[in-house]
């Protein structure tokens, strides 16, 4: 008789959920997201990055001035920013966060007449410095977009969601020749202080990364801070705003786990304390 070789995440998370529900002073609501209910523990881990950290030589930028008290790009420019993607079972968050910010910024700055959905698949499969579904780096993906660029998603659709990195294409999915590559111009690290980050966000969304702990995989809504559980891996996301609620300052962040996760595809996380390392290195790109 064959034994079941994996444990569904719902039963795995349920044990820990009971612990979280008893914790005092929670600023967020724990639960089991519907997208995780039929996934195994291994599948949950596959959505995160497990690459060794490397040092990056990149220009640091400190913005000076007075930022608005709050900012929310999904509300200010929903046609540009309120577009939620799903990386599925591939650790391609590094590509989704960069392509998200790239597309958002090109739309906000009117470099594109309307929002163009650029191809994450092209970046995942063709950026050989990064590691496809096994993860990548916030800095090197921007270097790839500067040197090589990408194509619209209508040319090269996402196919790596099953967890296996696809093959770098030589033509569009329909066999037609690639259009001219769309490239970014430059990028800089703007995680040089909370005020500098806020001012950088006024120009458009930023890419960042943070450590995912077990409790984050049970986030349903509210302002997240780590309370419980081990390190599960790294994750790249997109800063899209900031604000304050009931005296708690937060960043608004766009995830790449689909629109049915968290707060309609977004989450909020405590601001100003480098929660889970989210304020250590973040990039603003000139597109």
The answer to whether the beta carbons of residues 261 and 221 sit under 8 Å apart is: no
Residue in 80, 90, 93, 126 annotated catalytic: 93
Residue in 82, 187, 255, 282 annotated catalytic: 255
Residue in 155, 191, 235, 276 annotated catalytic: 235
CA-wise closest residue to 61 among 209, 236, 187, 147: 187
Give me the helices (H) in 36-153, please.
41-46, 73-76, 78-81, 93-108, 120-126, 138-147
**3-class secondary-structure state, position 12:** helix
The answer to whether the beta carbons of residues 90 and 125 sit under 8 Å apart is: no
Pairwise CA distance, residues 282 & 91, whole Å: 19
For residue 246, indicate whether it is catalytic: no
**3-class secondary-structure state, position 10:** helix
For residue 56, indicate whether it is catalytic: no
For residue 93, indicate whether it is catalytic: yes
CA-wise closest residue to 21 among 30, 32, 34: 30
Positions marked active-site: 93, 235, 255
């Amino acid at each position: 008789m064959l034994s079941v070789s994996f444990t569904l995440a719902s039963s795995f998370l349920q044990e820990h959920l009971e612990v979280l529900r008893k914790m005092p002073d929670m600023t967020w609501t724990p639960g089991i997201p519907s997208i995780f209910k039929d996934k195994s523990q291994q599948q949950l881990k596959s959505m995160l990055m497990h690459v060794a950290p490397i040092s990056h030589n990149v220009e640091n930028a400190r913005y000076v001035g007075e930022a608005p008290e709050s900012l929310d790009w999904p509300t200010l420019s929903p046609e540009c920013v309120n577009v939620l993607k799903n990386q599925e079972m591939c650790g391609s968050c590094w590509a989704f966060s960069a392509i998200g910010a790239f597309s958002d910024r090109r739309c906000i700055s009117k470099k594109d007449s309307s929002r163009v959905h650029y191809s994450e698949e092209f970046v995942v499969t063709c950026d050989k410095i990064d590691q496809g579904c096994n993860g990548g780096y916030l800095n090197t993906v921007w270097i790839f977009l500067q040197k090589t660029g990408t194509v619209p998603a209508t040319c090269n659709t996402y196919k790596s969601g099953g967890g296996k990195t696809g093959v770098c294409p030589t033509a569009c999915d329909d066999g037609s020749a690639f259009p001219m590559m769309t490239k970014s111009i430059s990028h800089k690290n703007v995680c040089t202080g909370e005020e500098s980050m806020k001012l950088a966000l006024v120009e458009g969304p930023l890419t960042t990364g943070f450590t995912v702990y077990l409790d984050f995989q049970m986030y349903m809504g509210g302002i997240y801070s780590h309370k419980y559980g081990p390190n599960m891996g790294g994750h790249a996301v997109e800063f899209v705003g900031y604000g304050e609620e009931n005296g708690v300052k937060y960043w608004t962040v766009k995830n790449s786990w689909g629109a049915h996760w968290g707060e309609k595809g977004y989450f909020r996380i405590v601001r100003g304390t480098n929660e889970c390392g989210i304020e250590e290195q973040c990039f603003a790109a000139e597109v």
